[in-house]
Amino acid sequence: GVGEMLGQYYPHVTFVQAQHNGGYAYGNNIGIRRAKGRYIMIANPDIVLSSTLVEGLVDFMEAHPSVGIAGPRLVNPDGTLQHSCLRFPDMMLPLFRRTFLARTGWGRRWLSRYFMEEWDHASARDVDWLFGACLLVRREALDAVGPLDEQFFLYLEDTDWCRRFWEKGWQVYYVPTVSAIHLLRRSSEGSPLSIIFNRTARVHLGSFIRYLIKYKGKSNPHQLAT
């Protein structure tokens, strides 16, 4: 009934009904192909947009023509920070996120670096990748890089996309002067046994394996660019 409701109350909104659930990348690519503007925004349904968010990100992109993707500061409903900009992962990620190693000194140091916890997230800066929950993308850059990779049904498609932007010479930027509330639900997290009982966790692991295979032996394009 969403399409009917939008047609009645928001007739200026273009609503496209997908024929099947092809995953996160598939669904967003439908919208990306229909979009006409110089900028395209991806916003998950669990994002609460502020009145200044879109304008603030567009202003930033207008002032920084080498930036291909920009993302706002994401916060929890209580206003606390979500670590939404991260470093590219390596094969150690599942071990430090899903096993007892997360509680070791080695694991804590690895995760702290992965989530960029050494930085206060108070200033704009270029980063490896951004959560796909809320992104503004430059059309010119998108035409060079291409849409989201639909081999990733769920998870890692945002990591992959940001990496491809860096590979094509476009910067990825975190912009904390604008923010959005993200009602984050970590449906894939849990113990190692969650891989057996939690379908979302299995999908997450599958996407991570696809990511590792796709970039096996390749250098970090962000480090090469900077």
Q: Residue 131: which of 165, 169, 168, 174 has the closest Cα? A: 174
Res. 38 pLDDT band, cuts 50 70 90:
very high
Query: What residue has token string 């996160």?
Result: 24
Q: What is the mean pLDDT of residues 7-22?
A: 93
Q: Which residues pair with 135 in a beta bridge?
A: 42
Q: List the structure tokens of 164.
A: 């491809």
Quick one: CA torsion of 123, 124, 130, 135, rounded to 10 degrees?
120
pLDDT tens for 142-194 read 999 999 999 999 999 999 999 999 999 999 999 999 999 999 875 445 555 45
Q: Residue 87: which of 47, 42, 118 has the closest Cα? A: 118
pLDDT tens for 72-93 read 999 999 999 999 999 999 999 9
Cβ(162)–Cβ(69) below 8 Å: yes
* Burial environment of residue 67 by CB neighbours within 10 A (0 to 12, 13 to 18, 19 or more): buried
For the chain, the farthest-separated pair of C-alpha atoms sits apart, in whole angstroms, at 56
C-beta contacts of 198-203 below 8 A and 24+ residues apart = 200/154, 203/153, 203/154, 203/155
Residues 146 and 148: their CA atoms lie apart, in Å, by 7
Q: What is the mean pLDDT of residues 65-75?
A: 98
Look up the pTM and report it: 0.92
Q: Count other Cβ atoms within 10 Å, centred on residue 5.
A: 10
Cβ(74)–Cβ(133) below 8 Å: yes
* Burial environment of residue 137 by CB neighbours within 10 A (0 to 12, 13 to 18, 19 or more): buried
Rg (CA), the chain: 18
